[in-house]
């Protein structure tokens, strides 16, 4: 990583520069120009994005992704802080197990990486993990990839997390309702003969957890919501004063099951839902029910994603194309403002998870540049995205984290 003092660029005084502290603006304005012809009116400086839901696969599954490649991928997408989930080997369910991941983060990450600790031992949902020993080293607790099936286990987890001042971040999925499904249980699945995953498998567990949250007073966050019922339930819970936030992914906001192709790059968990669900998610984003956008960046080896919708592993990558996709499909179409998008990608996640917004961490974008999403150009080891081949607006020119240049587009000398 090169130091900020070697960074060479200029940025116009767009209204979005005001989101950053004066000290950062001064660092930018005192620098010299980009060494390529660019329309300065297209350049926008944002705080570094923050993704509270990624999978970096290390330790245990480094053939899919490493902390180094994952953090480089994040930097290329404009992120300066990410939170990797605990589906690892060993699962970070005790301090010794967590320490393996912490060491890799310390030695190889190029941006800020704040890991989760598991809720239960080995994420099996049977006995609670050693939450107390991990608390000061993790951003929150989650069994992501697995819904906690037993009510009493989740209730006890909430009580202990509350005592520790930590958030429970829940992957909500009722296993009894999955029935071997691979995509949303909607018209497309029925027309094409695919087993479906019903919406209640998600929203039913959210409703259960919110009742437990009301009883315990736990700070609760719902991962990757995808259904209209989830939006409604969370909206009503917020009105009643329950301490709940939620996230959704870029793919749920701009795609639905009518966009499906029988390829692994369209298989994720939860699945792409129906058109009404997507519209409800956009409404939830507009009115603040949905607090933040997280990619659920989940890389797999090529062979694990080459078996169509039925046989491929669940999960897609998203860090390197999230902002351009959302800017193109939501902001430029007038569905949300650019300020709302920056809030959901940078400010809101930091506020909820108490992640610092550093004055010398930011990202510079050319919003007028058009790009074709090319997975072969990704810095991530994962290549599976439903947005492959799409033309989007927005090019990340530079990402600076803690005063260090962690990504620089080739167009910048």
What is the rounded (10 degree) CA torsion for 256, 258, 264, 267?
30
The CA-CA-CA angle for residues 219, 341, 25, to 5°, reads 105
Record the tokens describing residue 187, joined without a space. Answer: 């018209």
User: How many angstroms separate the CA atoms of 231 and 226, rounded?
Assistant: 8
- How far apart are the C-alpha atoms of 226 and 297, rounded to whole Å? 16
Rounded to a whole number of angstroms, the CA Rg of the chain reads 20
Instruction: Give the C-alpha separation, 181 to 202, whole Å.
Output: 13
How many Å apart are CA 220 and CA 157, to the nearest integer?
11
Cis peptide before 270 (omega within 30 of 0): yes
To the query of whether residue 185 is one of the catalytic residues in this protein, the response is no
Q: Select which of 51, 296, 343, 366 is catalytic.
A: 296
Q: What is the dihedral of CA 369, 374, 377, 379, to 10 degrees?
A: 90
Q: Which positions are annotated as active-site residues? A: 296
């Amino acid at each position: 990583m090169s130091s900020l003092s070697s960074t060479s660029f200029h940025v116009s005084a767009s209204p979005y520069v005001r989101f950053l502290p004066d000290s950062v603006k001064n660092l930018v304005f005192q620098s010299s120009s980009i060494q390529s012809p660019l329309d300065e009116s297209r350049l926008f400086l944002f705080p570094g994005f923050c993704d509270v839901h990624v999978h970096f696969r290390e330790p245990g599954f480094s053939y899919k992704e490493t902390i180094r490649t994952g953090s480089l991928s994040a930097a290329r997408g404009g992120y300066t802080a990410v939170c990797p989930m605990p589906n690892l080997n060993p699962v970070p369910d005790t301090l010794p197990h967590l320490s393996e991941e912490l060491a890799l983060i310390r030695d190889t990450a190029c941006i800020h990486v704040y890991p989760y600790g598991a809720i239960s031992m080995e994420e099996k949902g049977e006995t609670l993990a050693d939450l107390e020993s991990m608390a000061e080293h993790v951003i929150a607790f989650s069994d992501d990839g697995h819904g906690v099936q037993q009510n009493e286990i989740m209730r006890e987890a909430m009580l202990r997390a509350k005592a520790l001042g930590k958030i429970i971040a829940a992957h909500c999925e009722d296993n009894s309702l999955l029935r071997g499904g691979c995509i949303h249980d909607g018209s497309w699945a029925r027309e094409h003969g695919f087993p479906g995953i019903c919406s209640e498998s998600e929203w039913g567990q959210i409703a259960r957890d919110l009742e437990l949250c009301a009883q315990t007073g736990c700070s609760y966050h719902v991962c990757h919501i995808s259904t209209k019922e989830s939006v409604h339930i969370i909206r009503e819970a917020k009105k009643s004063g329950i301490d709940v936030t939620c996230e959704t992914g870029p793919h749920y906001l701009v795609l639905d099951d009518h966009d499906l192709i029988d390829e692994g790059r369209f298989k994720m968990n939860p699945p792409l839902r129906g058109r009404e669900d997507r519209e409800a998610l956009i409404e939830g984003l507009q009115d603040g029910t949905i607090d933040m956008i997280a990619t659920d960046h989940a890389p797999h080896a090529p062979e694990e994603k080459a078996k169509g919708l039925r046989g491929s592993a669940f999960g897609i990558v998203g860090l390197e194309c999230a902002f351009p996709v959302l800017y193109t499909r939501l902001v430029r179409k007038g569905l949300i403002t650019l300020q709302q998008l920056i809030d959901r990608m940078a400010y809101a996640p930091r506020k909820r998870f108490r992640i610092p917004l550093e004055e010398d961490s930011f990202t510079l974008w050319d919003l007028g540049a058009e790009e074709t999403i090319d997975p072969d150009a990704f810095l991530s080891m994962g290549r599976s995205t439903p947005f492959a081949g799409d033309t989007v607006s927005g090019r990340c020119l530079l990402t600076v984290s803690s005063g260090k240049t962690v990504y620089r587009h080739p167009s910048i000398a």
